[in-house]
Amino acid sequence: MLNVSNLRVSYGAIEVIHGIDLQVNQGECVALIGANGAGKSSTLKAICGLVPATAGTIEFEGQDITNQSGHSIVKAGITMCPEGRQVFPQMTTLQNLKMGAYPRKDAEQAADVEEMMDMFPILRDRAGQAAGTLSGGEQEMLAIGRALMARPKLCIFDEPSLGLAPKIVAEVGETIARVKEMGKTILLVEQNSAMALRLADRAYLFEAGEIVLSGTGAELQSHPDVAKAYLGH
């Protein structure tokens, strides 16, 4: 479904992604793991058209989307759920959800809002409440629900567990598992490698702008380098 080939990304004169290859197949949950600054976010941004690729190609469903506008990449079916949640704090939960469907028709929107509220009942309880007053975990669910309102083919989650208490991290993990059960294809970036590898069918390990290891979630979980450096055992 997504095919990234020999991707390079630079900020000014400094190259931070040095020619990586990765694939995401339909229905898979694929995780990108690695330390701070290893290049995971830059890779996501290049896929979403938020930073230019200086070399290489990004194909989505056979179509070349390299360096296309963010708008046309969303239209192609890729939606990013950004790091730090970034809900609109003054708007209500319901208004935030509807923003995700923009610019689709009202009838469809209403049905999709219902679906999201069935999936995340807490959002129904908080429907009229300003999103900024929701807890961190609730805001993450809202951000995920809002991303799904665009009916994406590929959902990209950037650090969904960042800054959340351990109990809430577990809830976010369950939420992502549910999104996967919906049949969505997922690309997940996480510093919480343990959670990411439990959820992922396959994963890629980034180090200093390169992919140094790839395999199934289970393979990476039991790989000695990963266990020692990223899982703390």
Ligand X SMILES: Nc1ncnc2c1ncn2[C@@H]1O[C@H](COP(=O)(O)OP(=O)(O)OP(=O)(O)O)[C@@H](O)[C@H]1O
Residues found near ligand X in the complex (CB under 6 A)? 11, 16, 34, 36-42, 191, 206
Question: Least distance to ligand X from the beta carbon of 22, Å?
Answer: 14
DSSP 47-104: HTTSS--SEEEEEETTEE-TT--HHHHHHHTEEEE-TT----TTSBHHHHHHHHHTTS
Q: Which residues neighbour 94 within 8 Å (Cβ) at sequence distance 6 or greater?
A: 113, 127, 128
Q: Which is nearer to ligand X, 34 or 137 (CB)?
A: 34
**CA distance linking residue 228 with residue 233, whole number of Å:** 5
Question: Least distance to ligand X from the beta carbon of 86, Å?
Answer: 14
Question: Least distance to ligand X from the beta carbon of 119, Å?
Answer: 28
Q: Which is nearer to ligand X, 131 or 203 (CB)?
A: 203
Number of C-beta neighbours around residue 26 at 10 A: 12
Question: Least distance to ligand X from the beta carbon of 9, Å?
Answer: 8
**CA distance linking residue 153 with residue 100, whole number of Å:** 14
Q: Which is nearer to ligand X, 33 or 148 (CB)?
A: 33
Q: Which is nearer to ligand X, 101 or 189 (CB)?
A: 189
Q: Which is nearer to ligand X, 22 or 101 (CB)?
A: 22
Q: Which is nearer to ligand X, 39 or 100 (CB)?
A: 39
Question: Least distance to ligand X from the beta carbon of 43, Å?
Answer: 7
Question: Least distance to ligand X from the beta carbon of 10, Å?
Answer: 9
Hey, is 203 helix, strand or coil?
strand
**CA distance linking residue 194 with residue 79, whole number of Å:** 24
Number of C-beta neighbours around residue 94 at 10 A: 19
